[in-house]
Amino acid sequence: MAMVCLTDFEEYAKEHLSKATWDYYAAGADECCTRDDNLLAYKRIRLRPRILRDVSVSDTRTTVQGTEISFPVGIAPTAFHCLAWHEGEVATARATEALNTCYITSTYSTCSVEEIVAAAPNGYRWFQLYVYRDRKLSEQIVHRVEGLGYKALVLTVDVPYTGKRRNDIRNQFKLPPHLKVKNFDGVFQQETAGPEEYGIPANTLDPSISWKDVYWLQSITRLPIIIKGILTKEDAELAVEHGVQGIIVSNHGGRQLDGGPASIDALSEIVDTVQGRIEVYLDGGIRTGSDVLKSLALGAKCVFIGRPAVWGLAYKGEEGVREVLQILNDEFRLSMALSGCRNVAEINRNLIQFSKL
């Protein structure tokens, strides 16, 4: 069957993945209000297209942290790609390299950072990081990825504790025995007797993480630091004051606090506060090229997709992820042209009309 839009990949994945795996990827926290609102919020935003603008030639290229990518959509950090496709993150890395965009590798990968680099040596990659109670663990992985040529660190800040994802609890979700959190292979073997949470021992994440840890991270690396999980202007201002290089506006795909804002609804106040001092990105709810256009019009430099990449993997591995990215690229180019924009520099807030719904 022809895959025409991202929903086609979603339906395929739902049919073909095991129930526990599908539920894990699909999960939101509590009643899933925020997860669902991430998508609904885009439907409340209307575009104001301009016409007769000569859109015979269009250019979707942009830059993130000074590096050119082919279009403003990258892959957000999501865990356990081997649950969806046997090659896992290696396939994701090859697909993003082929389309010349940015892949944020998750700490919770089922392939190691070394395997990912070997599979796609010319890919542009950032690394998503958690801060652990054992700071040495975090420090070791930072030095590993810096040595491997990852270009930025993405510090996830919205998980002092894991959100309550009801279906994972009902399913007693666990990684199957043949899969591991590869970046920590061997590190936790002595603790395997204790309770486990998403592939590593429970209570490994540090709930005491605070702004001072941003300074700590800056002291151990020269890589740019991008903070993922900011939803308010107050925290955006603090991020700038602490000298980070970027913000990803994100509610963790609605998997952490239920009842927070949709990512796209939080974007404007953050962009207005930051005022171009650092780059602002977004993830959560991107399903079409027009979603990408709306995000850029509201001030995002680039957006990142999480679940749709996993659906692409479930469909056909590397080829599936390439197809998902290509469809978004084509739809974005078309939406741009139909709105009268020839390149990303012409996309601005005048394109947006908030509907009265």
The predicted-structure confidence for 313-347, as pLDDT tens digits, reads as follows 999 999 999 999 999 999 999 999 999 999 999 99
pLDDT score of 357 more than 60: no
**What integer pLDDT is reported at residue 186 of this predicted model?**
81
Q: What is the pLDDT of residues 134-160, one digit of tens each?
A: 999 999 999 999 999 999 999 999 999
77 is annotated as contributing to ligand binding: yes
pTM: 0.97
Q: What is the pLDDT of residues 49-87, one digit of tens each?
A: 999 999 999 999 999 999 999 999 999 999 999 999 999
307 is annotated as contributing to ligand binding: yes
- Residues 254-258 have a mean pLDDT of 98
Closest CA to 39 of 353, 329, 306: 306
228 is annotated as contributing to ligand binding: yes
Choose the weakest-confidence range: 51-55, 197-201, 254-258, 270-274: 197-201
**What integer pLDDT is reported at residue 1 of this predicted model?**
78
pLDDT score of 48 more than 60: yes
123 is annotated as contributing to ligand binding: no
Identify which has the larger pLDDT, 192 or 353.
Answer: 353
**What integer pLDDT is reported at residue 223 of this predicted model?**
98
Domain boundaries, the chain: 6-354
Asked if 242 and 214 count as a contact pair (C-beta separation under 8 A), the reply is: yes
92 is annotated as contributing to ligand binding: no
pLDDT score of 192 more than 80: no
pLDDT score of 208 more than 90: yes
3-state secondary structure of 297: helix
Q: 104 pairs with which residues across the strands?
A: 126
Query: Across all residues in the chain, what is the average pLDDT?
Result: 96
- Residues 1-26 have a mean pLDDT of 97
* Banded pLDDT at 193 (limits 50, 70, 90): low
160 is annotated as contributing to ligand binding: no
128 is annotated as contributing to ligand binding: yes
24 is annotated as contributing to ligand binding: yes
Active site residue 252: yes
144 is annotated as contributing to ligand binding: no
Asked if 207 and 197 count as a contact pair (C-beta separation under 8 A), the reply is: no
Write down the residue that tokens 């390149």 correspond to.
343
78 is annotated as contributing to ligand binding: yes
Closest CA to 108 of 246, 324, 306: 306
**What integer pLDDT is reported at residue 219 of this predicted model?**
98
53 is annotated as contributing to ligand binding: no
Q: d(Cα 336, Cα 310) in Å, to the nearest integer?
A: 26
Closest CA to 223 of 283, 145, 279: 145
- Which is the catalytic residue, given 16, 81, 178, 252? 252
pLDDT score of 356 more than 60: no
**What integer pLDDT is reported at residue 189 of this predicted model?**
59
- Residues 118-141 have a mean pLDDT of 96
Architecture, CATH, for domain 6-354: Alpha-Beta Barrel (3.20)
Let me know the angle formed at the C-alpha of 40 by 35 and 43, rounded to the nearest 5 degrees: 155
Closest CA to 54 of 346, 357, 352: 346
On the 0-12 / 13-18 / 19+ scale of CB atoms within 10 A, 239 is: buried
